Chains A and B, each alone.
Chain A
Amino acid sequence: AQTVTQSQPEMSVQEAETVTLSCTYDTSESDYYLFWYKQPPSRQMILVIRQEAYKQQNATENRFSVNFQKAAKSFSLKISDSQLGDAAMYFCAYRSSFSNFGNEKLTFGTGTRLTIIP
């Protein structure tokens, strides 16, 4: 079974600064997907960024980028130019690519609460 570990329960960063959230995972599979989700107080999980394991290039979405180290099974999220609206719980998640349709299970880490200091 796959596991996802987020070792930082809480992080804080000054507004406009850069912060990196850590995530490690354990799997015996070679092909899979990794995600970072953001959960603000509104409770809705919002997709921040996605990475396919077969792609060596790190995914980037505007101010959000990842450092994907497949051999080390590490998937960290970097937020540049932090904004007040970035304050939320951030969850790292894993999904196997085995079996295309169906089998949509996501395995989540325990989350990191990010606080933005004005």
Chain B
Amino acid sequence: KAGVTQTPRYLIKTRGQQVTLSCSPISGHRSVSWYQQTPGQGLQFLFEYFSETQRNKGNFPGRFSGRQFSNSRSEMNVSTLELGDSALYLCASSFGGANYGYTFGSGTRLTVV
């Protein structure tokens, strides 16, 4: 079966711009979570969506936002990019519920210059 697909794989943006990243979960998975991975801060939780509703949000500024569509695909948006937003952004999908594991995508590497 197809895995979690994240697009694009790589992205270079200029400070002050905005960016949208996409995540297509495994078919049937209704929960999508996003994580930011940096060498300094490690893996940090951004937010989680389930059936188009944001259920949980990490400690990130309002410049970071997301949404989930009726087909469970999710997008995250970062506005007014800062150099510190350079990171690997990982998406994980799950059926939802504590008994299920998570499948991660290969991430989008965002570089802000």
Contact = CB atoms under 8 A, between A and B. Distances in A.
Contact of A103 (B43, B55, B102): B55
Q: Main SS of chain B's interface residues?
A: strand
Contacts of B92: 45, 104, 106
B101 interface: yes
A105 B48 contact: yes
Interface in B16-56: 31, 33, 35, 42-43, 45, 48, 50, 53, 55-56
Q: How large is the interface on B (under 10, 10 to 19, 20 to 34, 35 or more residues)?
A: 20 to 34
A66 B24 CA distance: 32
Interface in A44-100: 44-47, 50, 91, 95, 97, 99-100
B102 A104 contact: yes
Given A102-B50, A103-B48, A108 B42 contact: yes
A43 B107 contact: yes
Interface in B58-113: 58, 88, 90, 92, 94, 96-98, 101-107, 109
B97 to A, nearest CB: 5
Nearest to A44: B106
Interface of A: 33, 35, 37, 42-47, 50, 91, 95, 97, 99-111
A44 B9 CA distance: 12
A112 to B, nearest CB: 12
B106 A107 contact: no
A97 B33 CA distance: 16
Contacts of B109: 43
A110 B42 contact: yes
A21 to B, nearest CB: 16
Contacts of B103: 47
Contact of A101 (B33, B50, B104): B50
